[in-house]
């Protein structure tokens, strides 16, 4: 009996050792090749390519890791990807021009910015149906939701402001003036501040969320596209300058600039790997930066025209 138990245990260990383990992975939307590259962050290589169509741009991984959502502005659709099978399992017709996406902390609601419809859609993640449409300002783009899931912030790009949405009532409760043409918004880990990348004033607005007002601006390179926070520092993709602007996340003081591959766009800090990950549209690569040394570490070829606009990293079990 003991021999059989020992043999079974050895077999189980061997089977576990032989099974391919997945590291954390990134889902990179490639607008020109109409697909999504799945990048293993540990090995820094593409492990799958998922056809999507409709010129995919925005992306959001659900916090529970069970779904990845991709917006296709030209396809007027939201695609749902099963990250386990790496396939598109549903498409939701939303009309308009879907761009920015974020998912509620409980993974039950998908928030989607409709660029042409000047609205934010609240989509039920289980039924995959639109349950509310909230009017906002002109050309909404990036979104961010608070850790408690109660408040949504929306970049009204052409109105130079943030819309503030109460999620429970699905109503806009206010606006906050920021820089010229805010495209992306990121919240600080402590929930005290919002940072907007203002593509026409070439700066980042720092917003005191409790006070509901802009308190300072951080100068950047030309056409800032996205903001990431990691290791006590902020990183901004300067799309037309081919650089990252780096600032101190506590004092908001500029630290410097990093030369990068061409046209850096989507950006996200990853505490697990200790790196900042960025999609570079111009060179068709996905690259990483060490936030301490400020050096480019990895450069991974992906599809054509990578944007990765949103929360693109999935934690694996």
Tokens representing 264 are 């850096």
pLDDT higher than threshold 50 for residue 242: yes
**Residues 220-240: tens digit of each pLDDT:** 999 999 999 998 999 999 999
Bridge partners of residue 254, in order along the sequence: 247
Query: Does the predicted model carry a pTM greater than 0.85?
Result: yes
What does the DSSP assignment read for 81-143? EETTTTEEEEEEE--S-EEEEEE-TTSSEEEEEETTTTEEEEEETTTTEEEEEEE-SSSEEEE
Tell me which residue of 85, 82, 57 sits closest to 70, measured CA to CA. 57
- Other beta carbons within 10 angstroms of residue 262's beta carbon come to 13
**Residues 262-287: tens digit of each pLDDT:** 999 999 998 788 899 999 999 999 99
Question: What is the rounded distance in angstroms from the CA atom of residue 191 to the CA atom of residue 209?
Answer: 8
Question: What is the rounded distance in angstroms from the CA atom of residue 91 to the CA atom of residue 165?
Answer: 26
**Residues 141-182: tens digit of each pLDDT:** 999 999 999 999 999 999 999 999 999 999 999 999 999 999
Share of the chain above pLDDT 90, in %: 90
Question: What is the rounded distance in angstroms from the CA atom of residue 57 to the CA atom of residue 300?
Answer: 19
CA of 197: how far to CAs of 86, 126, 300, in Å?
31, 32, 25
| Strand 171-177 versus strand 161-166 pairing type | antiparallel
Contact 311, 293 (CB under 8 A): no
**CA 91 and chain centroid, separation:** 20
**Residues 30-65: tens digit of each pLDDT:** 999 999 999 999 999 999 999 999 999 999 999 999
What average pLDDT does this structure show over 206-217? 98
Check the CA dihedral 11-14-18-21 and report its sign.
positive
Quickly tell me which residue has 């889902």 as its tokens.
Answer: 27
Contact 300, 44 (CB under 8 A): yes
Contact 265, 243 (CB under 8 A): no
Tell me which residue of 170, 179, 256, 186 sits closest to 221, measured CA to CA. 256
Task: Compute φ and ψ for 67, nearest 5 degrees.
Answer: -150, 150
Alpha helix locations (H) across the chain?
2-18
| pLDDT confidence bin for 13, thresholds 50/70/90 | very low
CA of 170: how far to CAs of 109, 138, 164, 180, 182, in Å?
12, 18, 10, 26, 22
For 21-314, the fitting CATH number among 2.130.10.10, 3.40.50.300, 3.40.640.10, 3.20.20.10 is 2.130.10.10
pLDDT higher than threshold 90 for residue 12: no
Contact 180, 167 (CB under 8 A): no
Residue environment code for 61-77, b if the CB has 16+ CB neighbours within 10 A, otherwise e:
bbbebebbbbbbbebbb
**Cα distance from N-terminal residue to C-terminal residue, the chain:** 33
């Amino acid at each position: 009996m003991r021999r059989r138990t020992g043999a079974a245990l050895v077999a189980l260990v061997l089977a576990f050792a032989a099974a391919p383990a997945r590291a954390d992975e990134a889902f990179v939307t490639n607008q020109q090749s109409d697909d999504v590259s799945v990048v293993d962050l540990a090995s820094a290589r593409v492990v799958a390519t998922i056809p999507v169509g409709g010129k995919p741009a925005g992306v959001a991984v659900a916090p529970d890791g069970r779904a990845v959502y991709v917006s296709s502005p030209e396809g007027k659709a939201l695609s749902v990807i099963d990250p386990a099978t790496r396939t598109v399992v549903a498409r939701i017709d939303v009309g308009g021009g879907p761009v920015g996406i974020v998912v509620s902390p409980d993974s039950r609601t998908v928030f989607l910015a409709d660029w042409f419809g000047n609205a934010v859609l609240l989509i039920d993640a289980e039924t995959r149906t639109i349950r509310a449409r909230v009017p906002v300002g002109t050309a909404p783009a990036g979104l961010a939701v608070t850790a408690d899931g109660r408040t949504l912030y929306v970049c009204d790009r052409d109105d130079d402001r943030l819309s503030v949405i109460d999620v429970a009532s699905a109503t806009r409760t206010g606006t906050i003036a920021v820089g010229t043409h805010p495209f992306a918004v990121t919240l600080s880990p402590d929930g005290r501040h919002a940072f907007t990348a203002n593509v026409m004033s070439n700066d980042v607005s720092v917003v005191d969320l409790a006070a509901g007002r802009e308190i300072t601006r951080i100068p950047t390179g030309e056409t800032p596209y996205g903001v990431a926070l990691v290791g006590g520092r902020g990183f901004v993709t300067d799309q037309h300058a081919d650089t990252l602007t780096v600032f101190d996340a506590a004092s908001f003081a500029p630290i410097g600039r990093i030369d990068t591959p061409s046209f850096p766009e989507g950006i996200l800090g990853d505490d697990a790997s200790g790196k900042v990950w960025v999609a570079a549209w111009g060179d068709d690569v996905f690259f990483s930066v060490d936030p301490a040394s400020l050096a480019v570490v990895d450069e991974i070829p992906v599809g054509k025209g990578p944007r990765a606009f949103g929360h693109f990293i999935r934690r694996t079990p």
